[in-house]
A and B are shown apart, each in its own frame.
Chain A
Amino acid sequence: MALQSLDIKQRSATTTPAPSVRKTVEVAKLIDVSTCIGCKACQAACMEWNDIRDEVGRNYGVYDNPMDLTDKSWTVMRYAEVEEKGRLEWLIRKDGCMHCLEPGCLKACPAPGAIVQYANGIVDFHEEHCIGCGYCITGCPFNIPRISKEDGKAYKCSLCSDRVAVGQAPACAKACPTGAIQFGTKEDMQDYAAKRIGDLKERGFDKAGLYDPAGVGGTHVMYVLHHADRPQLYSGLPADPGISPLVSLWKGFAKPLASLALGAVALGSLFHYVMKGPNEVSKETEKEVEKEGSQ
């Protein structure tokens, strides 16, 4: 019996395996960029549900508001104006955590249990275990987590794990008035995406496709893009995201080496103590020093 509402698949900085016999449904959120009108209901619903309120920022003359993700804005709409075949296209993408199958943040995190991946695919941050090192930001191929200036801990979209745990859709998906955000099992979302892509292809977007990048093992937040061959058009969505080599270098090579060096130092000190013993001052030297001191 699991002692929590969602089964755990992976945990940061933990080597003991998680129970893996039971198989639960894998969930996903599908963002259909072609039906999004950029109304930001998802942003408002996200803040409302998660009890976060970002500061009222500045207007920079564009629709983006806030301009970037913050510790209190876990999702933002990014508006890109792109000229395609002499026509202006307004590509609006809801940015936020992609909930990768192979999460770079979790791999990089050194704090046990600060980042958890549930069996349903959600990657969740547990701020109470977070030490605020910021390695998750280095590890994330999509540049999503943000460190709070208030408590020095990392925050990002939880895919409303508290709602999903009780069988509800994330707040953003529920609110979306055009149905551009859909939520369900990953399989159902792929089926729905295939229908949408077929429709877009009929309308002349012959490069339409699903964004579910294999470089991170696939994601649990997927996009339907009209230009799936060039995802970078959508405010720099990476074409082939992968975990930074720095993370593998640190976790796969540098960390065991450092641990080995640390062990060697401890062992060396022990041998030194046994063989040479503690550094002792002879009575004569002591007397000499005392004499010098009294003069």
Chain B
Amino acid sequence: MQVTRRQFFKICSAGLGGSSIAMLGYSPTAALAEVREFKLARATETRNMCPYCSVSCGVLAYSIGDKSKNAKAKIIHIEGDPDNPVNRGTLCPKGAGLLDMINSPNRLKFPEVREAGSNEWKRISWDEAITRITKHMKADRDANFVEKNAEGTTVNRWNTFGFLASSASSNEPGYLTVKTLRALGVVALDTQARI
């Protein structure tokens, strides 16, 4: 780099002047003040339903990462879904605090069973749980299924079994729930959702 005598003096005086001004408190960086970075800028937004009450508010769950293979997602924020007609973006205090329910150490994350006569809950796999429930259902249905009533009319009732569907179900899962359970003859069928 070639610097002439004149340029050298210019650089020196500019440097000296600049640092003197900075020393006097006129530092340009100090005049800046930035707000906290918007923490959801590239977070993954997932639509879901609040699990608490029968109002079934729509929520947006924000997780870190972009669903790429090596990035492990974790929910960092939840707020109301403005496109959901039930709550239009609002939430109650329980819904507004959903994040802490998800991250709670007391949350049940896997199936557990308490065998007859035992006082302890034992962790089982989803496969085991589903098989177990199916076997219980089949045994109960085989024993108590009512094909015809006293007058001989075909009724196909299974009165000893009840089913409570999730409040997070929308129309389509609701339809499938009814279709499946009515086919088995289930009468006592309800959902917590009132939507």
Instruction: Tell me the A residues contacting B by CB distance below 8 Å.
Output: 3-6, 8, 11, 14, 16, 18, 39-45, 47-49, 53, 112-113, 116, 118, 124, 126, 158, 161-166, 168, 171, 174-177, 179
Contacts and interface: CB of A to CB of B under 8 A. Distances in A.
B93 A11 contact: no
Given A44-B97, A48-B97, A4 B32 contact: yes
B77 A49 contact: yes
Contacts of A177: 87, 90-92
B33 A113 contact: yes
7 contacts: A11-B31, A41-B90, A41-B91, A44-B93, A162-B39, A174-B79, A179-B90
Contacts of A42: 96
Contacts of B41: 166
Given A3-B32, A5-B35, A48-B97, 19 more contacts: A8-B31, A8-B33, A16-B26, A39-B92, A41-B90, A41-B95, A42-B96, A44-B94, A48-B77, A113-B33, A161-B36, A162-B35, A162-B39, A166-B38, A175-B80, A175-B91, A175-B96, A177-B90, A177-B92
Nearest to B36: A162
B90 A158 contact: no
B115 interface: no
B35 A40 contact: no
B89 interface: yes
Contacts of A48: 77-79, 96-97, 99-100
A45 B94 CA distance: 9
B96 A4 contact: no
A113 B79 CA distance: 31
B99 to A, nearest CB: 6
Contacts of B30: 14, 112-113
Contacts of B31: 8, 11, 14, 16, 18, 113
B79 A175 contact: yes
A280 to B, nearest CB: 33
B37 interface: yes
A66 B72 CA distance: 35
The residue in B79, B95, B100 that gathers the most chain A C-beta atoms within 10 A of its C-beta is: B79
A206 to B, nearest CB: 31
A4 B87 contact: no
The residue in B31, B37, B87 that gathers the most chain A C-beta atoms within 10 A of its C-beta is: B31
A48 B95 CA distance: 11
A6 B35 contact: yes
Interface in B1-29: 25-26
Nearest to A174: B89
B33 A45 contact: no
B34 A171 contact: no
A150 B36 CA distance: 20
Contacts of A163: 38
A33 to B, nearest CB: 18
A18 B32 CA distance: 10
Given A162-B37, A165-B35, A174 B93 contact: no
B93 A41 contact: yes
